[in-house]
Amino acid sequence: MNEFNENDIGTLLRLKRHEQPPPDYFDNFLHEFHRRQRAELLRQPLWRIALQRAQDFMLQLNVPTLTSYPAAATAVVVCAAVLSLKVYQTPESATAMPAVATVAVQQQAAPVAVSVASTVTDDDESWSLSTRDFGSTPFRSVSDGARTHRPAASPRYVLDSTPVSYEPSLRF
Amino acid sequence: MDQPRSDEDQQLVARTQEGDVVAFDHLVVKYTPRLYGLVYNMTSNHEDTNDLLQDVFSKAYKSIRGFRGKSSFYTWIHSIAVNMTLNFLKKRGRRFNLSLDDVDASIQNDKEFLELTQTSSPVREADLSELQVRLNEAMMKLSDEHRAVVTMFHIQGMPHAEISKILRVSEGTVRSRLFYANRQLQNYLEEFRKNPVS
């Protein structure tokens, strides 16, 4: 009696091809597959279904051929960052500019006010009015202070000669 | 067993990737009998095979957008089926019941079967259903990896190169596993030869 050789093993195993499921099994397999897919779809959360729909939509647009996903994601992040910087910085700079201008004007005006205060008296209305016009009033130099003497002031006289009483007595 | 035409598969895959569900249905119909034979002969259980096959096609449908065509769809779907079946068998362990399909009546006209019954006394003397059970028992004594190779080579008729692609091992490994599995099967079936009806 011969032993099983390798060919016999192969032949025996090939006979296993004749083990077949019931005749209608393959006909019903596709229906069963669809039924299971529907059941699985119903078990999925809503957000996942929405995500899949979005992916399908993007695939229909053929977006992946235009650019790779990482590049697209990076571009979106960069754009979002630039936009957010512009959006959040523009109003602040717009409000900051007048403030800076005000400070600058005040810094310019401060010496004027000081100089005016030092040279003009309280009862001179014209000077006080004119000094409020910060843009047009020029700085006044200290040397101009001589012209500010009021005309009503009493004249001062300087004696060039020494008093008689201080003159030395005559010597003969 | 000839491979299906890959250009036809490529068209169906491309249509499926564009969202054509009917195209994937064609692939399911086309590959179900072939994959059924693969999974069934690895599990020796009809119900497990049915569940696994449903999962295989479900996974393939979900993953088909990532299929770039580096290998043929044939190789790709077989890889999914083999890997999922091997994972299932590891979880199932050794405790299982044979749930065998009926042997098709066409076996009586099979040329190889006729030759075998004329030359091999164990086969000639054994009842057909007994022979089927013994064959499946012998197969289940192999390790999962060896059974996968035997199924693909002897039953599915795949060449060594295709098996190596599916299992992602070298052709040498495939041949080595096949040699070892054949030796083991010979030993298991020797008992059947010595005592065919026990």
Low-confidence stretches of chain A (pLDDT < 50) are 1, 96-105, 109-146
pLDDT in tens, B131-151: 778 888 888 889 999 999 999
A153 reaches B (C-beta below 8 A): no
**pLDDT range class, residue B175, cuts 50, 70, 90:** very high
> Could you tell me which chain B residue has the CA closest to the CA of A36?
B54
Looking at residue B2, what is its pLDDT?
54
| Verdict on whether the full-model pTM lies above 0.90 | no
Segment B79-90 mean pLDDT: 94
pLDDT in tens, B43-65: 988 999 999 999 999 999 999 98
Domain with CATH 1.10.10.10 in chain B: 121-194
Residues of B in contact with A9 (CB under 8 A): 154, 182, 185-186, 189
Closest listed residue to residue A25, CA positions, set B40, B16, B109, B150: B40
Closest listed residue to residue A14, CA positions, set B41, B186, B57: B41
d(CA A116, CA B186): 121
Q: Roughly how many angstroms between the first and final C-alpha of chain A, as a whole number? A: 185
The torsion defined by the Cα of B13, B18, B19 and B25, in degrees rounded to 10, comes to: -20
Name the average pLDDT for chain B: 85
Looking at residue A55, what is its pLDDT?
78
Domain with CATH 1.10.1740.10 in chain B: 6-92
Residue B150 burial class via C-beta count within 10 angstroms: exposed 0-12, middle 13-18, buried 19 and up: buried
Segment B7-15 mean pLDDT: 91
Say which CATH topology domain B6-92 has: Rna Polymerase Sigma Factor; Chain: A (1.10.1740)
Q: Are residues B6 and B73 in contact, defined by beta-carbon separation less than 8 angstroms?
A: yes
pLDDT in tens, B90-134: 988 777 776 777 677 676 677 777 776 666 655 655 666 777 788
> Could you tell me which chain B residue has the CA closest to the CA of A17?
B155
CATH code for the domain defined by B121-194: 1.10.10.10
Q: What interface predicted TM-score (ipTM) does this complex get?
A: 0.79
Query: Does residue B166 surpass a pLDDT of 80?
Result: yes
CA B141, B155, B81, B71 torsion-angle sign:
positive
Instruction: Tell me how crowded residue B105 is: count the other CB atoms within 10 A of its CB.
Output: 9
